Structure 1
Amino acid sequence: MRSNSLLFRLLLGAAIWSAIALVAGGIALSAIFRERVEDNFEQRLTVLLYGLVAELDVAEDGALDAASPPGEPRFHQVYSGWYWQVDGADGAIARSRSLWDQALAAPSWADGGSGPRRSALDGPDDKALVALSLRITLPAMPDRPLIVTVAGDRAEIDAAAASFQQTLIFSLTALGLGLIVAILLQVRFGLRPLRKLRDGLAAIRDGRAETLDEGVPDEIRPLARELNALLRQNAAVVERARRHVGNLAHALKTPVTVLGNEAAGDRSGLGELVTHQTELIRRQLDHYLARARTAATGGVIGARTEVRPVAEALVRTVERLHRDRDLDISLQGDDLPDFRGEREDFEEMLGNLLDNACKWAGSRVVLSLGTSGGALRIAVADDGPGLDASVLDSAVLRGRRLDESVPGSGLGLSIVKDIAELYGGTLELGTAAQGGLEARLTLPGLPRRNS
């Protein structure tokens, strides 16, 4: 998942806000739970406090008789964390067995208020206690007010809160992970129409479709419509370019041909000059018209050409053109990708390579078709004299003819190179295994439609 993708951005944003919400909710729930635990703890202390008050009595000798309230056996366990104590004016009068030889600090009652009072005390072993105290006066001791205190271990509150926090953290973590998975699925589902749009564009580029399906959600339907309009406009512009190039070719070639034919019958110096110049004009027209047509169609979306049928047709054509030389022209290669481009451009490139090979071949020409890394690989080799390594690069220059004894314009390889480069391909020359020239053409390929 790339950091600049919509999926990553939406997922990251949702994850951040979910994390913030879960953390805030966890803190709030933890605080509420702790408050409820403390309230329950205080209610328990209240019950025990009033139970202890109910057990207080005065003996016949005037001594205070106190017993532990029922319901809490830890009042009888030494240093259990649960204690009670009754204080008079001179200090502790009675206390629980759990205090043993210790005593609790009596709370101050200087303001003379009534009702239970909550306080924090330090008990035996420095344990933190939560205490609840009540000031009372017994009927038998009207002039001796007493302070009754019941205290419980604060660690019980902390343990309950810690256990809840641990469970809460585990639950919220699981919930967060579940939310992330749910958000991921939701975002993927929401972005599915965009992936469908992307696949539709790929199908158009590969020539498997002509327009986008507009049966998409309302939010992106205008985009699909605009892209379809752009595709139609592009096709119209390309068609106009083709028509203008054809009109230009016809408008220029006809008068040039007329001039050449008229000059061919004139054996004077002027006639030979006109013949030579018209031939140069014809070569330049062929070159630049081919380049202009390819430039107009090389980027056409959806153009594709089946390679094998075109190659077979061209082999038959050059065999007929050079039948007087009895050349052996073989075609090798199967399971080929399609050429990502116009059929006319492919015919132009392969036809020039085959024609050039047949002109120089001694007896054999080999056309090899293959694929590598999704690209289309074409090699045309002959058993002719070949070229010296020092002139291989210059052989593809426009109008360069290395041997004037063989008819031609010197533009064939140059046109092939120009067209190949317009499609993002390459043309390389080398020495064939048969000893002649080998032209290696690399072009963009597309998977076969039936594969």
Structure 2
Amino acid sequence: MIRSLRLRLMLAAASLALLFMLGLLPALQKAFSLALQESIEQRLASDVTTLISAARVEHGQLQMPAQLPDERFNLANTGLLGYIFDRQGNLVWRSRATTTQNINYLPRYDGTGNEFARIRQNNGEEFFVYDVEVKLLGGKSAAFSIVALQPVREYQHTLDGLREKLYLGFGAALLALMVLLWAGLTWGLRSLRRLSVELDEVESGARDGLSREHPRELLRLTGSLNRLLHSEREQRQRYRDSLDDLAHSLKTPLAVLQGVGENLGQGNGEREQARVLQSQIERMSQQIDYQLQRASLRKSGLVRHRVAVRPLLVSLCSTLDKVYRDKRVSVSLVIPERAQLPMEEGALLELLGNLLENAYRLCLGQVRVSLVDEPGARVLCVEDDGPGIPVSLRERILQRGERLDRQHPGQGIGLAVVKDIIDSFDAQLSLGDSPLGGAAFRIVFRVD
């Protein structure tokens, strides 16, 4: 499938031009052929007139001079043949050029005056014939057919030359037309290229919307895209504001309930009820935090962000080194200096933060983060030398609230948030075994 609009237009224009020329070529050849035949007819009529002007009738007999005014009748092998027949079709005179020719032609003296025709001999050779019926010669009554013939091969040779020149001319014209079309399409599609550049800038966050410096035909499209961008930003902001308001309005009652639960827990008889109450409050708080993280980390529809990976990793590792300073974790970053990922910075920070925190917490002393390019993809991998994850539990730990590590506090939503972030950016997450001995989280991002 051809995906280039300019190439499609070029092929369509070239096809139409070629079809037009293929249709025009036979018409031009026919026109040239008719014009050439008309020229031959006029020339043969002139030759016949020369014969008529030279002929005389004396005592009922045709008399022709030894030398005719047109030298082509007097010389052999000139290609111009002259014959005179009487009314009964008997040959009464022939030009000197006919001595080497044996023409099988019988005139029709039928009162039509003159006739231009094309005849074929038994040997396959063809001739143009111009036959004129004469009733008066030199003012005396006579009845003769005066005929001039010319071989068709000269006409065919001329026609073949014209046809060859037509082919060459049409080929050159088609090539020139393609060059002009390519230049014209390049100039005409500059507006689309400029629109594409602006869309790239919108996707990268360099501009908020599309300009109005486009042709009239594109203004409706750019206007619709600008309205879509504006509506998307407003809806996204309203969504976040609503969630922030909801979280704020719920956290205060939850804090009050938690305080009430702690007060209830001071009494022996109500300790069990207080534990149940605090458990439900913790579940509600977990649900609020999870939904807030999911909503805030959804990517925008039209905007594509690019975030440098290495600076974020260095910052996260520096923070986690302080949190887990007693472990003395050795971190290996196999990340190119200018490597980027197509994500929002906040989403990437949340994703890497959850994965690295799990790796630091579960490793024995080694963590490795790598980023490599594969055909059509960019692969981020976070590995550790910890106990690993059994195959039967790898799907389970990605579900909200599921935790394999019960020795450390937590709500079990970290990996679920990671999975949501990865899904929202059309990436793929897979769990496997690391050469270091522990788990390997492999994330594949598609690269356009």
TM-score in terms of structure 2 length: 0.85
Q: CA deviation at 1:273?
A: 1.1
Aligned to 1:222: 220
Aligned to 1:405: 407
Equivalent residue of 2:149, what SS? strand
Aligned to 1:266: 264
Aligned to 2:281: 278
Aligned to 2:321: 319
Aligned to 1:48: 47
Deviates more, 1:221-230 or 1:53-62: 53-62
Count of aligned residue pairs for this structure pair:
438
Q: Distance in 1 between matches of 2:302 and 2:237?
A: 10
Aligned to 2:297: 294
**In 2 relative to 1, CA 390–86 (structure 1 residues): closer, same or farther, beyond 3 Å?**
closer
1:108 pairs with 2:127: no
Q: CA deviation at 1:135?
A: 0.5
1:426 pairs with 2:425: no
Q: Distance in 1 between matches of 2:197 and 2:241?
A: 32
Q: Which amino acid aligns with 2:6?
A: L
Q: CA deviation at 1:58?
A: 5.7
Deviates more, 1:11-20 or 1:240-249: 11-20
Deviates more, 1:327-336 or 1:245-254: 327-336
**In 2 relative to 1, CA 57–304 (structure 1 residues): closer, same or farther, beyond 3 Å?**
closer
Query: What does the per-residue CA deviation read over 1:178-197, in whole Å, with 9 as the maximum and x for residues that have no partner?
Result: 32332233223322211322
- The sequence identity of aligned pairs, in percent, is 26
Q: CA deviation at 1:154?
A: 2.8
Aligned to 1:381: 383
Deviates more, 1:286-295 or 1:375-384: 375-384
Q: CA deviation at 1:407?
A: 1.6
Q: Distance in 1 between matches of 2:382 and 2:138?
A: 125
Alignment RMSD = 3.2
Query: What does the per-residue CA deviation read over 1:13-32, in whole Å, with 9 as the maximum and x for residues that have no partner?
Result: 43343234323433333233
Q: Which amino acid aligns with 1:256?
A: L
Q: Distance in 1 between matches of 2:74 and 2:407?
A: 124
Q: Which amino acid aligns with 1:311?
A: L
Task: Work out whether residues 133 and 146 of structure 2, in 8 Å CA contact, stay in contact via their aligned partners in 1.
Answer: yes
Q: Which amino acid aligns with 1:184?
A: W
Task: Work out whether residues 329 and 360 of structure 2, in 8 Å CA contact, stay in contact via their aligned partners in 1.
Answer: no
Q: Distance in 2 between matches of 1:126 and 1:402?
A: 100
- Once the two structures are superposed, the pairs formed by residues 280-359 of structure 1 within 5 Å of their partners are 280-295=283-298, 297=299, 299=301, 301-323=303-325, 325-332=326-333, 333-359=335-361
Task: Work out whether residues 73 and 97 of structure 2, in 8 Å CA contact, stay in contact via their aligned partners in 1.
Answer: yes
Task: Work out whether residues 256 and 278 of structure 1, in 8 Å CA contact, stay in contact via their aligned partners in 2.
Answer: yes
Q: Distance in 2 between matches of 1:283 and 1:209?
A: 37
Query: What does the per-residue CA deviation read over 1:273-332, in whole Å, with 9 as the maximum and x for residues that have no partner?
Result: 11122122222222222223223x454613343322222222222233334x25335251
Aligned to 1:17: 16
Query: What does the per-residue CA deviation read over 1:385-437, in whole Å, with 9 as the maximum and x for residues that have no partner?
Result: 44444433323232122242222222222221222222222333334444344
Task: Work out whether residues 337 and 371 of structure 1, in 8 Å CA contact, stay in contact via their aligned partners in 2.
Answer: no
**In 2 relative to 1, CA 28–96 (structure 1 residues): closer, same or farther, beyond 3 Å?**
same
1:97 pairs with 2:99: no
Q: Which amino acid aligns with 2:264?
A: D
Q: CA deviation at 1:351?
A: 1.6
Q: Distance in 1 between matches of 2:435 and 2:122?
A: 102
Q: Distance in 2 between matches of 1:434 and 1:347?
A: 24
Query: What does the per-residue CA deviation read over 1:138-192, in whole Å, with 9 as the maximum and x for residues that have no partner?
Result: 459x454333222222332233223212221221232123323322332233222
Q: CA deviation at 1:270?
A: 1.0
- Once the two structures are superposed, the pairs formed by residues 355-374 of structure 1 within 5 Å of their partners are 355-362=357-364, 364-373=365-374
Task: Work out whether residues 76 and 97 of structure 1, in 8 Å CA contact, stay in contact via their aligned partners in 2.
Answer: yes
Structure 1 gaps, min length 5: 447-451
Q: CA deviation at 1:87?
A: 2.5
Aligned to 2:268: none
**In 2 relative to 1, CA 304–159 (structure 1 residues): closer, same or farther, beyond 3 Å?**
closer
Task: Work out whether residues 75 and 83 of structure 1, in 8 Å CA contact, stay in contact via their aligned partners in 2.
Answer: no
